[in-house]
Structure 1
Amino acid sequence: MAAPCYLGWDFSTQQLKVIAIDEQLRVVYEDNVHFDKDLPEFKTQGGVYIHSDRLTVTSPVLMWVKALDMILEKMKSSGFKFSQVRALSGAGQQHGSVYWKKGSIEILKNASSKLPLHQSLKACFSVSNSPIWMDSSTASQCSALEKAVGGAQHLASITGSRAYERFTGNQIAKIYSQNPEVYMQTERISLVSSFAASLFLGAYAPIDYSDGSGMNLLQIWEKVWSVSCLNACAPGLEEKLGCPVPSHSVLGPISPYYSQRYGFSPDCKIVAFTGDNPASLAGMRLQEGDIAISLGTSDTLFLWIQEPTPALEGHILCNPVDSQTYMALLCFKNGSLMRERIRDDCASGSWDEFSKALSSTVAGNNGNLGFYFDVMEITPEAVGIHRFNRDNQKVSDFPKEVEIRALIEGQFMAKRIHAEKLGYKVNSAAPKARLI
């Protein structure tokens, strides 16, 4: 008999990934479907459609379903033994939303195992192109939501974040205001994560606390929907969202569709899916006091926090590992592209030269400090290059090695300051910072 294994799925922006691990956490299988390359019929770029207003960004829901069909067929043809899978879970890109048309639950529950799932579900979505995290077309809905609940800080105190254009509540409000008939035809609204779990469950999967706290709708302290936020977005919304659940909830057994078509055990359990950022915190196995820093195009900070203080910058989400605690998330847009630009300007495009210049200067940079924002920053909302000498006077330039240290120290100082604003406490024992 084959050894038990567990599947993890990642419904991300540009691809669908799957990984199988055994009981010793060893990877025994992995594969992916790249949306642009493997599903060219959807004509996406980077997995998305950028609309003519440049603000609206969506992805086709059926592309995600077809990608799942494709990857399962690839696994089947490779001889993967689905019968050994004991449980599966996964993550979805945060803030994307899926709108199920009335009557879809019956189609989902009774999908024929003789057909690929995307064929059964092709008429199930009242909105065929899902708004995703890159969308920034809901400025007026954000203003209305903040006004309805008594201001940006009050909204942050309830939901963990001020109103953000990509957050699901504001996206729902836009759909309701522009297409009320489409909203009325919708019986369930999922996040990408709970949508993905629903495909495996053969029923509408609940939204988990952690991904749910990135919607501007969930009271993060009580873990229930905020009536005032729901009412500000659209009527009858609570019923369409269902009841949120802890991120580690076992939702039930896999749909018979998968047992019949692929040979999954009927006892295979579906564990709630969550957002990609909470999944990163769980996957890094962070504990209280840890910081994880992802140095990417944008720099992202994950923090495990016991007693958060929601602010106008950054986000407080429910912790996916421990429902009684929280995670803070800070995003800085001027990340690796900013570092690469200074590397090119001051170190001839060489990271080795950059590192040597950094090592040649002392910690604290003799009081020279810089803040570098080539594009409008998220945290804080600022743009431009701002240099200060040891006397706190603004200056127009630094020597190259001073510039490099000013950039790095300024970036990390900003991360610490904004983390502390959200409630992170730096204790005397140096906290562990994990770079990913």
Structure 2
Amino acid sequence: MAAAPDSPLYLGLDFSTQQLKAAAIDGNLRVVHQDSVQFDCELPEFRTQGGVHIQEDKLTVTSPVLMWVKALDLLLDKMKRAGFDFSRVRALSGSGQQHGAVFWRRGASQTLNQLHPDQSLHQLLQGSFSVADSPVWMDSSSTQQCHDLQAAVGGALKLAEITGSRAYERFTGNQIAKLCQSRTEVYRDTERISLISSFAASLFLGGYAAIDFSDGSGMNLLDIRTRSWSKVCLEATAPHLDCLLGSPLPSSSVQGPVSSYFVRRHGFSESCAVLSFTGDNPASLAGMRLQQGDIAVSLGTSDTVFLWIQQPRPALEGHIFCNPVDRQAYMALLCFKNGSLTRERIRNECAGGSWETFSAALRDTPLGNNGNVGFYFDTVEITPSAVGVYRFDSEDSEVSSLSPQVEVRALVEGQFLSRRLHAERLGYSIIPGTRVLATGGASSNKEILQVLSDVFNAPVYTIDLSNSTCLGSAYRALHGLAAESGASFFDVVKNAPEPQLVATPHPAAQQVYDHMLERYARLEDSVLRKSCT
């Protein structure tokens, strides 16, 4: 049944690396409009490749702030031409690529508050940024600042215990420290520092939006337990930083009504609420509707694992963020570089390039692979930090090769044992009702998903994440209004499309893989020692 022509809509936006996307849903969670702007091809004047500028040192990676502003102008104009009725939008929220920073020049708040509807945002905000090109998540030029921050707080693990992660070059606090040290005058001319998410929210508010708890967790600055800025981290980063960042707010906060600029220029309702924007990873968690005990596994070029956890155990690997849909919970994120490309290599070498033969090898070999285990780090792995290929037989003796079928299972079991091991080290635990949500290219292979189900001893469902950030943002916009009357996020999204069940664990899986996981952990330690020598 179609939505009534005047029924309320909820708008979600995503300022990602390569494009700006939007999705609008109605009160029944049906998507009624989608649109996007591709940065490279639709805004060629900014001369980006993949949405970024890579500097000569190959370490410094930035994006033009005004490109994001102009993309919003273009997106809203596209939507209006397509007949989208902005007056029906009751609330909006959004996400931004995590770890990017926007530095507002002194006087920018006054400009934001006095936007004239006869001009585009791009024209009005030309002089509002003290840094024209913002550092983004691909930047790795702040190594020294990472060392300094960890030293100031008492080491990498101590920093992880406070902020949820050890120091990372791409994290915003270290980017701020680098700017403060290398471009002091620019830092002094800065009135406010936003994340890309809170920058985007600021455009809609006509004033500075607060950083939300969840995206703020990706800065190496927020104490994830108190949900406030860590004084020791702020002091180690830059002077007066608390004033420049403002106070963080819960991810479900209504930050105010939409600016009169959008009412007069685009026809938004004066009562349209602007919810906190958050990072793209937290928004994806909302879009997937992950629940307590769930784990999402994206099987792509790299494999990414999202976790819903209650009691975090920050470690030197992976990240703990405040949960964007539950103020008492956390989310964890793990990234594994050796994903589908490694699976394709083993397919080529052991299955004649055929996925059918690869799948048959998984069907024809037993759970546990008769004790044969493999570690396949074709390139330097992120989790754990190791490189090389290591194979072990049932006696824990390293061997130079395995039969093709055994090699296939050793690869897939080893990858999923690694995902489970490192998830549990961050505080994840399998509970009754746990689901594994699989997405990405390899999620189309039922035999791979069966191994995933067996290793985690949980049912596996497939889910389409192609628009999870926008959907998550739209869901959060709807929830933000409902939360004021006490509704939970899951009350609001209970009628969203369900993921599809594709695999259930073998009855013997728990006995096999609980034992195998302990052994895998011991062997990984030996691999790390070998890899470091």
- Tell me the TM-score normalized by structure 2: 0.80
2:399 corresponds to which letter in structure 1? V
Alpha-carbon distance in structure 1 between the residues aligned to 2:236 and 2:408: 47
Q: Which residue of 2 aligns with 1:230?
A: 234
Aligned positions of 1:28-177 closer than 5 A: 28-177=32-181
Q: Which residue of 2 aligns with 1:353?
A: 357
1:2 corresponds to which letter in structure 2? D
Tell me the SS of whatever aligns to 1:376.
Answer: coil
Please say which of residues 280-289 and 161-170 is displaced more in the overlay.
280-289
Residue 357 of structure 1: CA displacement? 1.7
Asked if 1:268 corresponds to 2:272, the answer is yes
2:65 corresponds to which letter in structure 1? V
Q: Which residue of 2 aligns with 1:17?
A: 21
Asked if 1:392 corresponds to 2:396, the answer is yes
Tell me the SS of whatever aligns to 1:211.
Answer: helix
1:233 corresponds to which letter in structure 2? T
Number of residue pairs the alignment of both structures matches: 435
Alpha-carbon distance in structure 1 between the residues aligned to 2:78 and 2:370: 58
Alpha-carbon distance in structure 2 between the residues aligned to 1:57 and 1:398: 42
Alpha-carbon distance in structure 2 between the residues aligned to 1:324 and 1:308: 11
Asked if 1:432 corresponds to 2:410, the answer is no
Residue 247 of structure 1: CA displacement? 0.3
Residue 376 of structure 1: CA displacement? 0.9
Residue 352 of structure 1: CA displacement? 2.2
Aligned positions of 1:296-375 closer than 5 A: 296-375=300-379
Give deviations 1:375-395, integer Å, cap 9, x for gaps: 111110001111111111111
1:358 corresponds to which letter in structure 2? L
Q: Percent identity?
A: 64
Give deviations 1:356-389, integer Å, cap 9, x for gaps: 2221111111111111111111110001111111
Please identify which structure carries the higher helix content. 2
Task: Find runs of 4+ consecutive structure 1 residues off by over 4 angstroms.
Answer: none
2:89 corresponds to which letter in structure 1? V
Tell me the SS of whatever aligns to 2:49.
Answer: coil
Tell me the SS of whatever aligns to 1:126.
Answer: coil
Give deviations 1:126-172, integer Å, cap 9, x for gaps: 11111111111111100000000000111011111110110000000
- Gap runs ≥5 in structure 2: 440-533
Residue 283 of structure 1: CA displacement? 1.2
Contact map agreement 2:99 2:172 (CA 8 A) in 1: yes
Alpha-carbon distance in structure 2 between the residues aligned to 1:261 and 1:12: 25
Q: Which residue of 1 aligns with 2:294?
A: 290
Alpha-carbon distance in structure 2 between the residues aligned to 1:433 and 1:48: 33
Tell me the SS of whatever aligns to 1:214.
Answer: helix
Tell me the SS of whatever aligns to 2:265.
Answer: helix
Q: Which residue of 2 aligns with 1:202?
A: 206
Residue 291 of structure 1: CA displacement? 0.6
Residue 339 of structure 1: CA displacement? 1.5
Alpha-carbon distance in structure 2 between the residues aligned to 1:408 and 1:373: 13
Residue 430 of structure 1: CA displacement? 6.4
Residue 218 of structure 1: CA displacement? 0.3
Please say which of residues 20-29 and 339-348 is displaced more in the overlay.
339-348
1:50 corresponds to which letter in structure 2? I
Alpha-carbon distance in structure 2 between the residues aligned to 1:35 and 1:72: 15
Asked if 1:182 corresponds to 2:192, the answer is no
2:435 corresponds to which letter in structure 1? K
Asked if 1:414 corresponds to 2:418, the answer is yes
Alpha-carbon distance in structure 2 between the residues aligned to 1:164 and 1:423: 21
Tell me the SS of whatever aligns to 1:323.
Answer: coil
Give deviations 1:60-118, integer Å, cap 9, x for gaps: 11111111000101111111111111110011110011000000011111111111101
Alpha-carbon distance in structure 2 between the residues aligned to 1:338 and 1:60: 34
Give deviations 1:162-202, integer Å, cap 9, x for gaps: 10110000000000110011011001000011011111111
Tell me the SS of whatever aligns to 1:260.
Answer: helix
Contact map agreement 2:258 2:270 (CA 8 A) in 1: yes
2:233 corresponds to which letter in structure 1? C
Alpha-carbon distance in structure 2 between the residues aligned to 1:133 and 1:349: 34
Alpha-carbon distance in structure 1 between the residues aligned to 2:261 and 2:151: 46
Alpha-carbon distance in structure 2 between the residues aligned to 1:337 and 1:60: 31
Alpha-carbon distance in structure 1 between the residues aligned to 2:311 and 2:389: 34
Alpha-carbon distance in structure 1 between the residues aligned to 2:28 and 2:400: 56
Alpha-carbon distance in structure 1 between the residues aligned to 2:100 and 2:275: 20
Please say which of residues 340-349 and 284-293 is displaced more in the overlay.
340-349
Alpha-carbon distance in structure 1 between the residues aligned to 2:291 and 2:320: 16
Name which structure has the greater RCO, CA cutoff 8 Å, separation 6+: 2
Tell me the SS of whatever aligns to 1:316.
Answer: strand
Alpha-carbon distance in structure 2 between the residues aligned to 1:55 and 1:140: 13
Please say which of residues 295-304 and 84-93 is displaced more in the overlay.
295-304
Contact map agreement 2:115 2:124 (CA 8 A) in 1: yes
- Tell me the TM-score normalized by structure 1: 0.98
Contact map agreement 2:293 2:433 (CA 8 A) in 1: no
Alpha-carbon distance in structure 2 between the residues aligned to 1:170 and 1:67: 27
